[in-house]
Amino acid sequence: MGKLLHPTRTVALAFLLAILVGTGLLMTPMASSGIAPTTWLTAFFTAVSAVCVTGLVVVDTGTHWSMFGQVTIMLLFQIGGFGMMTAATLLGLMVNRSLRLRTRLITQVETHSIGLGDVSGVARMVLLVTLLAELLLALVLTARFAWTYDMAWPQAVWYGVFHSVSAFNNAGFALHADGLMRYGTDAWILLPIALAIVVGGIGFPVFHDIRARLNDPRHWSLHTKLTLTGTVALLLAGTAVLLFFEWSNPRTLGPMDLGGKLLSATFASVSARTAGFNSLDIAALTHESWALHYFLMFVGGGSAGTAGGVKVGTFLILVLLVYAEIRGRSDCEAFGRRISDSAQRQAITVLVLGSSMVVLGTLVILRGTDLPTDQVIFEVISAFGTVGLSTGITAELPPSGQLMLTLLMYVGRVGTITLAASLAMGHIRAAYRYPEEHPIVG
């Protein structure tokens, strides 16, 4: 029997396998509508974007792909959001009623469970929350599409299911060429989708923790408290900043009434972390709003959810680390708990690797195109954060630029720490330590 793969490498390879299978399916003649030929790069880019729940596209999803192609894309981002290894665990639970140790270890990487005993509970919670959220949202959207927008019921059902699965998995794929702009002031469309985005992107360990200690929030884990606090803070701050910069913009919030401005700004703040739906024309936003999107897209959502980015918890750990250093404290603390040194090192590692990927992607794409730098940066961060928002330049990029985006999406979905660990194949503890010195900083 050959040597077992490291669990983190198995996760990375599983996502790669799903991408290759999806590419093959999308290249078949029955996957396209026949309006335009499907090249291998178009199929590959779409498969990566779907499995990595990003939403960047080089062709219009609603017109280029046939029903078979659209169903394939939906299944791919359902697999990507649900988690390849989480799905494998659920199959093991249903068939064998028990988990092998190796399967538990692999799934622990995907769900970020604290201990092996938590994996079964987290996997069941993933299934329950996913099915319930997607079903409820699909019902709401289907009814709205049929009764308000006069869609035939078969079309309304399909649009409701597709956008529901896309929203919960933070995939950002839409069947309209303009995204959700036609529903820009429809609260019955945008608010349920926004709620599904938050639920899907907050992270399943948070739901697992809340369920276990529903009536005792004081004893929620530090991860749960950081994630919930950061999510609310970023949502409110993003909404406020967007309102400030877009209030009088005639191409975005300017023509709307107060209710429409609040709705659209709130939805844009939610979607930027990291759903990728747009109810506003992204290309028409002010440059200040683009800069805000850089930050929100890079941070992303909660760990072990359907969102991407470096994650809210990572960002808050870094903020708390800086705060502790400014105060001259040796310990990094929050909510009456000390954050471990390993968590601090991991947060710094994620930040450095994530920033490096963004810089590398920007340089590679700028080398092969004359597009404005700010638009390229937006595209790169959107890909790495698996967001899917775009200023409209995705299809204009040369093949080298589109391939760079696929790499960024893959790394962003698998995770910088997971990918690095899968390549390193484990940690080695040295039997000695060197004498300590303190280099000059700053």
Q: Hey, how many other C-beta atoms are within 10 angstroms of the C-beta on 241?
A: 18
Residues 6+ apart with CB under 8 A from 39: none
| CA–CA gap between residue 175 and residue 173 (Å, rounded) | 7
Q: What is residue 109's predicted lDDT score, i.e. its pLDDT?
A: 55
Q: What is residue 221's predicted lDDT score, i.e. its pLDDT?
A: 87
| CA–CA gap between residue 48 and residue 56 (Å, rounded) | 9
> Is residue 432 one of the residues assigned to a domain?
no
> Is residue 428 one of the residues assigned to a domain?
no
112 conformational bin, left if phi > 0, alpha if psi -120 to 50, beta if neither: left
- Give the residue numbers spanning the domain of 177: 7-420
| CA–CA gap between residue 27 and residue 14 (Å, rounded) | 20
- Backbone CA torsion sign across 339, 345, 348, 354: negative
**pTM here?**
0.90
Phi, psi of 334 (to 5 degrees): -160, 135
> Is residue 133 one of the residues assigned to a domain?
yes
> Is residue 70 one of the residues assigned to a domain?
yes
> Is residue 186 one of the residues assigned to a domain?
yes
- How many domains in the chain? 1
> Is residue 427 one of the residues assigned to a domain?
no
Q: What is residue 341's predicted lDDT score, i.e. its pLDDT?
A: 85
Under 8 Å between Cβ of 250 and 281: no
> Is residue 394 one of the residues assigned to a domain?
yes
**What are the tens digits of pLDDT across the range 274-308?**
888 999 999 999 999 999 999 999 999 887 777 88
pLDDT along the chain (442 residues), means of 10: 56 88 96 88 97 94 95 94 60 46 55 52 74 95 96 96 95 93 94 94 80 84 92 96 96 94 96 90 96 96 82 93 91 89 86 94 94 96 95 94 96 72 56 81 74
Under 8 Å between Cβ of 11 and 422: yes
What is the distance in angstroms between the CA of the first residue and the CA of the last residue of the chain? 53
> Is residue 438 one of the residues assigned to a domain?
no
